[in-house]
Amino acid sequence: MANKEIPYKIYLEESELPRQWYNVRADMKNKPAPLLNPKTLQPCTLEELSAVFCTELARQELDDTTPYIDIPDEIIDFYKMYRPAPLTRAYCLEKALGTPAKIYYKFEGNNTSGSHKLNSAIAQAYYAKKQGLKGVTTETGAGQWGTALSMACAYLGLDCKVFMVKCSYEQKPFRREVMRTYGANVTPSPSMLTEVGRKINEQFPGTNGSLGCAISEAVEAASNLEGYRYVLGSVLSQVLLHQTVIGLEAQAAFRKYDEKPDIIIGCAGGGSNLGGLISPFMGEKLRGEADYEFIAVEPSSCPSLTRGIYAYDYCDTGAVCPLQKMYTLGSTFMPASSHAGGLRYHGMSSVLSQLYDDGLMTARSVKQTEVFEAAQQFARVEGILPAPESSHAIKVAIDEALKCKETGEEKTILFGLTGTGYFDMYAYQKFNDGVMGDYIPTDEEIKEAIDRMPKI
Amino acid sequence: MANKEIPYKIYLEESELPRQWYNVRADMKNKPAPLLNPKTLQPCTLEELSAVFCTELARQELDDTTPYIDIPDEIIDFYKMYRPAPLTRAYCLEKALGTPAKIYYKFEGNNTSGSHKLNSAIAQAYYAKKQGLKGVTTETGAGQWGTALSMACAYLGLDCKVFMVKCSYEQKPFRREVMRTYGANVTPSPSMLTEVGRKINEQFPGTNGSLGCAISEAVEAASNLEGYRYVLGSVLSQVLLHQTVIGLEAQAAFRKYDEKPDIIIGCAGGGSNLGGLISPFMGEKLRGEADYEFIAVEPSSCPSLTRGIYAYDYCDTGAVCPLQKMYTLGSTFMPASSHAGGLRYHGMSSVLSQLYDDGLMTARSVKQTEVFEAAQQFARVEGILPAPESSHAIKVAIDEALKCKETGEEKTILFGLTGTGYFDMYAYQKFNDGVMGDYIPTDEEIKEAIDRMPKI
3-state SS class at B44: coil
By CA distance, what is A158's nearest residue in B? B380
| Cis amide prior to B322 (ω within 30 degrees) | no
3-state SS class at B363: strand
Q: How far, in whole angstroms, is CA B351 from its chain's centroid?
A: 13
**One-character DSSP codes across A131-142:** TT-SEEEEEESS
End-to-end CA distance of chain A: 50
Choose one of A206, A235, A264: the last residue of a domain.
A235
Among residues B290, B349, B352, the alpha carbon closest in space to that of B28 is found at: B352
In this structure, the answer to whether residues A244 and A376 fall within a common structural domain is: yes
3-state SS class at B435: coil
Domain range enclosing B170: 20-70+117-235
The answer for residues whose C-beta is within 8 angstroms of residue A254's C-beta and 6 or more apart is A87, A104, A260, A261, A414
Per-residue model confidence as pLDDT tens digits over A227-283: 999 999 999 999 999 999 999 999 999 999 999 999 999 999 999 999 999 999 999
For A14, which of B7, B180, B376 is closest by C-beta distance?
B7
What single DSSP character describes residue A35?
P
Taken as a whole, chain A contains a residue count of: 456
B274 to A335, B265, B303, B353: CA distances (angstroms): 48, 8, 15, 12
Quick check: B171 contacting A, CB < 8 Å? Answer: no
**pLDDT band at residue B212 using 50, 70 and 90 as cut-offs:** confident
Q: CA B134 to CA B153: how far, in whole Å?
A: 10
> What are the contacts of B199-208 at 24+ separation with CB within 8 A?
B207/B166, B208/B165, B208/B166, B208/B167
pLDDT computed for residue A297 by the predictor: 98
Per-residue model confidence as pLDDT tens digits over B288-299: 999 999 999 999
Asked whether residue A187 is domain-assigned, the answer is yes
Q: What is the CA radius of gyration of chain B?
A: 21
Quick check: A26 contacting B, CB < 8 Å? Answer: no
B442 to A273, B333, B435: CA distances (angstroms): 54, 12, 22
Question: A9 contacts in B (CB within 8 Å)?
Answer: 14, 80
For range A159-178, the mean pLDDT:
92
Per-residue model confidence as pLDDT tens digits over B68-93: 999 999 999 999 999 999 999 999 99
Distance from CA of B392 to the nearest CA of A (A): 17
Per-residue model confidence as pLDDT tens digits over A406-435: 999 999 999 999 999 999 999 999 999 999
Distance from CA of B380 to the nearest CA of A (A): 6
Choose one of A207, A235, A263: the last residue of a domain.
A235
Choose one of B235, B269, B293: the last residue of a domain.
B235
Among residues A231, A240, A250, A232, the alpha carbon closest in space to that of A271 is found at: A240
Is 0.80 surpassed by the pTM of this model?
yes
In this structure, the answer to whether residues A304 and A383 fall within a common structural domain is: yes
For range A192-196, the mean pLDDT:
94
Asked whether residue A212 is domain-assigned, the answer is yes
Question: B422 contacts in A (CB within 8 Å)?
Answer: 112, 114, 174, 178, 422-423
Interchain CB distance below 8 Å, B385 and A420: no
Q: How many CB atoms lie within 10 A of CB B78?
A: 25
Please give the tally of structural domains in chain A.
2
pLDDT computed for residue B231 by the predictor: 96
pLDDT computed for residue A4 by the predictor: 73
The conformational region for residue B257 under phi > 0 = left, psi -120 to 50 = alpha, else beta, is alpha
How high does pLDDT run on average in chain A? 95
Q: Does pLDDT of A77 surpass 60?
A: yes
pLDDT computed for residue A404 by the predictor: 98
Per-residue model confidence as pLDDT tens digits over B6-18: 999 999 999 999 9
Per-residue model confidence as pLDDT tens digits over B303-335: 999 999 999 999 987 788 899 999 999 998 988
In this structure, the answer to whether residues A216 and A329 fall within a common structural domain is: no
Interchain CB distance below 8 Å, A154 and B380: yes
Domain containing residue B37: CATH number: 3.40.50.1100
Give me the amino acid identity at A142: A
**pLDDT band at residue B2 using 50, 70 and 90 as cut-offs:** very low
Q: How many CB atoms lie within 10 A of CB A222?
A: 22
In this structure, the answer to whether residues A193 and A55 fall within a common structural domain is: yes
Percent of chain A residues past pLDDT 70, beyond the cut: 99
* Interfacial B residues in 294-333 facing A (CB < 8 Å): none
For A8, which of B14, B155, B428 is closest by C-beta distance?
B14
Among residues A86, A154, A99, A166, the alpha carbon closest in space to that of A122 is found at: A154
Quick check: A14 contacting B, CB < 8 Å? Answer: yes
- Let me know if B397 is exposed, middle or buried by CB neighbors in 10 A (0-12, 13-18, 19+): buried
Q: CA A421 to CA A434: how far, in whole Å?
A: 18
Q: How many CB atoms lie within 10 A of CB A352?
A: 33
Per-residue model confidence as pLDDT tens digits over B252-268: 999 999 999 999 999 99
The answer for residues whose C-beta is within 8 angstroms of residue A350's C-beta and 6 or more apart is A32, A33, A35, A237, A324, A325, A326
| CB of B418 closer than 8 Å to CB of B375 | no
Asked whether residue B274 is domain-assigned, the answer is yes
Per-residue model confidence as pLDDT tens digits over B116-144: 999 999 999 999 999 999 999 999 988 99
Question: A7 contacts in B (CB within 8 Å)?
Answer: 13-15, 80
Interchain CB distance below 8 Å, B155 and A380: yes
Interchain CB distance below 8 Å, A11 and B7: no
In this structure, the answer to whether residues B339 and B425 fall within a common structural domain is: yes
What ipTM was estimated for this complex?
0.95
Interchain CB distance below 8 Å, A182 and B92: no
Percent of chain B residues past pLDDT 90, beyond the cut: 89
In this structure, the answer to whether residues B30 and B88 fall within a common structural domain is: no
Among residues B182, B120, B453, the alpha carbon closest in space to that of A383 is found at: B182
**pLDDT band at residue B27 using 50, 70 and 90 as cut-offs:** very high
**pLDDT band at residue A1 using 50, 70 and 90 as cut-offs:** very low
pLDDT computed for residue B1 by the predictor: 42
Interchain CB distance below 8 Å, B425 and A80: no
Question: Phi first, then psi: what are they for B326, rounded to 5°?
Answer: -160, 165
Q: Does pLDDT of A393 surpass 70?
A: yes
Q: CA B249 to CA B76: how far, in whole Å?
A: 13
End-to-end CA distance of chain B: 50
pLDDT computed for residue A387 by the predictor: 96
Q: Does pLDDT of B3 surpass 70?
A: no
Q: CA A241 to CA A279: how far, in whole Å?
A: 8
Asked whether residue A285 is domain-assigned, the answer is yes
Quick check: A420 contacting B, CB < 8 Å? Answer: yes
Per-residue model confidence as pLDDT tens digits over A121-136: 999 999 999 999 999 9
Beta bridge partners of B106: B87, B416
Interchain CB distance below 8 Å, A422 and B114: yes
In this structure, the answer to whether residues B297 and B253 fall within a common structural domain is: yes
